[in-house]
Amino acid sequence: MKIKSVKAWLQHLPLTKPYTIAYKTIADTEIIFLEIVLENGIIGLGASNPFAEVVGETPAMALANLQSDFVQQLTGRDIRHFNQLIDEALVQFPHLPGTIAAIDIALHDAFCQLIGIPVVDLYGRKMNALPTSITIGIKDTAAMLEEAKANYAAGFKVIKIKTGLDVEEDIERVTKLTEQFGNNMLIRVDANQGYDLKQLQKFIHKTKDLSIELIEQPMKAGKESELAGLDSADRKKLAADESLLDAASALQLSHPPTPFGIFNIKLMKCGGIRGAREIATIAAAAGIDLFWGCNDESIVSITAALHAAFSCSNTKYLDLDGSFDLSSDLVTGGFILKDGVMYCSDGTGLGLHRL
C-alpha cells in the first residue's frame, strides 16, 4: 500500500495551567503534526514538541524539516517498508529527534492500521495498565498542597513535584505532602538539574523516611560521575532525564557503577518509538528500570509513548500527563485514563480519532 500524501503543520496551544520548573515558566506550547495518508484512505498521525534546551531542536526547525522535499518524497513509497523509511529519515536528519519522532509515530500509526493491530502489539504487549504521575510545578507549599488534594480527589495516587530552586523549601514540600497523604500518595521529585551534589545529599538524607518513589535528574547533565559517591541504594532511585538522550547516551550511563537506576525515556529526546525501544533494550541488559516521560504534547505522541512503554518488560513508571493541560488538541482517543491509571484504548494503530 503506497503513501498518497504527506502534510505537516504547527499549532500553537496555550496551557490551561501554566507551571514553573527550575529554569523557566511555561504557559503555552507549539506542537508539530504530521499526517500521512495512504491510497486506501488510512491516515497515520505523528506529533512532535522538542525542547531546544535539551536536544538543540526547536519546533520551528522540526516543521521546516517535515515540510522539506525529502519528506514530501515519501509520497509513492510503500508503507510496508516503514522501517526502511525511518532509516532513511535518520540519515537525512541526524540528531534531530523531534523531526524523527513525528515521522516514526505517523508511520507506525499508518502501518499498524493497515495490518489491523494496535502499535503495542506489533512489538508484543508486556502489560495492560499502569498508574501515571501528574505534575505540579514549583509553587509555595500551601498552593502545592491544594493542587495535590485536587489531583488525589480526581483519582491520582502518584504525584510529581517540580523542585530545584531551594533545597530547604523542597524538603518542606515533600514533608508536608507525606503528612497530608501518608502512604496513600507516592511522591516523585523532579529537580530539573537544580541541585549540586551537596544539596542532593542533604535532600536524600532529610527525606529518606518519606514517601519518595524516585528523584528525577537532580544534577546538571555532564555531572554524572559525581553521583558515584552516593550509595547504590540512593542511585537506584535516581532517574536520568536530560542526561539521557538516545541509545549512545544510554550505553554510557549503563556502565557500572551506574549513576542512575532509572531511565526517563521521552520520544521527543530519542526520536520516537524505535529510538525509545533501543534505549529500553540497553536498559534491560543493565538492570535499569524505565520511566516514560513527556513534554507538553498532543494525545498523538503521548499515546505513542504509552504503546512503546507497554511493549517493554522493564517499564516500571509512567509520567505521561503531557496532554492533560492542553487547551485543545487535534484528536481524541488513544488512551483511557481511569483513577490515574492509563490503558491503551481499543483500535488499530494508535486508536486515535480526529476532531
168 CB neighbour count, 10 Å cutoff: 11
In this prediction, residue 155 carries a pLDDT of 97
Closest CA to 192 of 54, 19, 52, 23: 23
Compute the distance between CA of residue 57 and CA of residue 94 in angstroms, rounded to an integer: 11
> Is the pLDDT at 18 greater than 80, yes or no?
no
Predicted confidence (pLDDT) per residue in 196-214, tens digit: 999 999 999 999 999 899 9
What is the CA angle 347-350-351, rounded to 5? 35
Q: What is the DSSP letter of 247?
A: H
Q: What is the pTM of this model?
A: 0.96
Is there a cis peptide before residue 131, judged by omega within 30 degrees of 0?
no
- Least confident range of 25-29, 70-74, 262-266: 25-29
Instruction: Report which residue type is found at 314.
Output: N
Closest CA to 320 of 310, 331, 312: 310
Instruction: Report which residue type is found at 139.
Output: K
Predicted confidence (pLDDT) per residue in 79-93, tens digit: 999 999 999 999 999
Compute the distance between CA of residue 71 and CA of residue 85 in angstroms, rounded to an integer: 10
What domains are defined for the chain? 3-116 (3.30.390.10), 121-354 (3.20.20.120)
